[in-house]
Amino acid sequence: MNPFEWLKSAVSSVPVAVETNRGTDLTGLAVMFANVAVIIGAGVSLIGLAYSFVTYVTGGGDPKTVQRAQRSATWSIIGMLVSLTAWGIKTILFNLLNVKDLY
């Protein structure tokens, strides 16, 4: 008896994204591109925010380091807001175009 038989049945019941053929037409490609762009933008913003936090903590009170950390945090937050705005615009645009089953 295979000890991982339960895992095989559980995994086989989950739909695979590749089998749904969502990226085969222009609308599907636009949705995938928009989703990837928003995820990358938000991820880079989070990494920048973490970098600014580490810079601020390890700066030791040096005014130039603190200023650099604050600038980095400001731009990271602006980047996150741009990503969230892009996600909202994408959602509104695709709802207006009746593209509801792709995202």
CB neighbour burial string for 11-45, b if at least 16 within 10 angstroms, e if fewer = eeeeeeeeeeebbeeeebebbeebeeebeebbeeb
> Model pTM?
0.67
- How many distinct structural domains can be found in the chain? 1
pLDDT score, position 33: 84
Distance, CA of 82 to CA of 61 (rounded, Å): 30
Neighbours of 52 (CB within 10 A): 20
**Residue 43, domain extent:** 39-98
Alpha-carbon torsion (34, 103, 90, 93), positive or negative: positive
Please indicate, yes or no, if residue 28 is contained in any of the structural domains.
Answer: no
pLDDT score, position 6: 64
pLDDT score, position 60: 83
Residues of the chain where predicted confidence (pLDDT) is lower than 70: 1-24, 100-103
Please indicate, yes or no, if residue 64 is contained in any of the structural domains.
Answer: yes
pLDDT score, position 14: 53
Please indicate, yes or no, if residue 55 is contained in any of the structural domains.
Answer: yes
Please indicate, yes or no, if residue 10 is contained in any of the structural domains.
Answer: no
Please indicate, yes or no, if residue 32 is contained in any of the structural domains.
Answer: no
Whether 39 and 18 have beta carbons less than 8 Å apart is answered as: no
Please indicate, yes or no, if residue 12 is contained in any of the structural domains.
Answer: no
